[in-house]
């Protein structure tokens, strides 16, 4: 039996750590999805999937389908950012796009918005609504990470 998610949430966070991976882990914790197993997925939001107005307490170790963009860096002074966006059609179905890299949060957000517009144009479907979250971090003395995701359940 195939599972179709009924809810989603959009999260983003930045964090530092002694290592790139622990910075990434800290960003996941700040985003509210640090004690689960992220199952990376592509870019489709099922019809009728509703945005959760508040987070959910996932059971520790749960498998959570997630589309995300992330970047880690240990280069002091480097600006890193991640953005995630959901484009929603009139029928409630949607497309998810993400971007992460060496840029500002505003630049990452613009890129995601452009990709959502293109994805809907490719599908010849109307784009009714766009929801985007972005985050940036200027790397300091410690390694840093940025993370932006859509989790579905």
Residue 146 lies inside a defined structural domain of this protein:
yes
- CA distances 118 to 109, 121, 124, Å, are 14, 5, 10
Residue 87: its pLDDT value, please? 98
Asked if residue 33 is part of any domain, the answer here is: yes
SS3 23: helix
Q: Which CATH number do you get for residue 105? A: 3.50.20.10
User: pTM (2 decimals)?
Assistant: 0.95
* Residue 24 belongs to some domain of the structure: yes
Host domain of residue 129: 7-152
Among 12, 73, 98, 113, the active-site one is 98
pLDDT of residue 1: 63
Domain assignment present for 93: yes
Q: Tell me the C-alpha distance between 84 and 147, whole Å.
A: 9
Please indicate whether residue 117 is annotated as part of the active site.
no
Least Cα distance to 64 among 146, 141, 7 occurs for 7
Dump pLDDT digits (tens) for 22-41: 999 999 999 999 999 999 99
Give the tens place of pLDDT for each residue, 31-87: 999 999 999 999 999 999 999 988 889 999 999 999 999 999 999 999 999 999 999
Known active-site residue 102: no
> What is the tally of structural domains in the chain?
1
Q: What does residue 99 show for φ and ψ, rounded to 5 degrees?
A: -150, 140
In-domain check, residue 1: no
Residue 2 banded pLDDT, cuts 50, 70, 90 = confident
Residue 77 domain-assigned (yes or no): yes
- 2 inside domain: no
Q: Is 98 annotated in the active site?
A: yes
Q: Is the pLDDT of residue 113 over 80?
A: yes
Q: pLDDT by residue (tens digit) across 5-25? A: 999 999 999 999 999 999 999
Q: Which residues contact 113 (CB under 8 A, 6 or more apart)?
A: 85, 130, 132
The residue-averaged pLDDT of 105-132 equals: 98
**Is the CB of residue 37 less than 8 Å from the CB of residue 64?**
yes
């Amino acid at each position: 039996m195939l599972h179709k998610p009924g809810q989603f949430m959009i999260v983003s966070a930045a964090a530092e750590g002694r290592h790139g991976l622990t910075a990434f882990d800290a960003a996941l914790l700040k985003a509210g999805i640090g004690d689960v197993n992220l199952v990376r997925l592509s870019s489709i939001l099922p019809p009728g999937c509703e945005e959760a107005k508040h987070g959910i307490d996932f059971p520790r170790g749960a498998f959570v389908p997630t589309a995300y963009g992330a970047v880690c860096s240990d280069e002091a002074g480097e600006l890193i950012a991640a953005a995630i966006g959901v484009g929603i059609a009139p029928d409630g179905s949607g497309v998810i796009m993400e971007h992460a890299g060496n840029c500002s949060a505003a630049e990452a957000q613009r890129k995601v918005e452009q990709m959502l517009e293109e994805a809907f144009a490719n599908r010849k479907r109307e784009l009714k609504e766009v929801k985007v979250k972005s985050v940036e971090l200027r790397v300091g003395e410690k390694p840093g990470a940025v993370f932006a995701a859509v989790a579905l359940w």
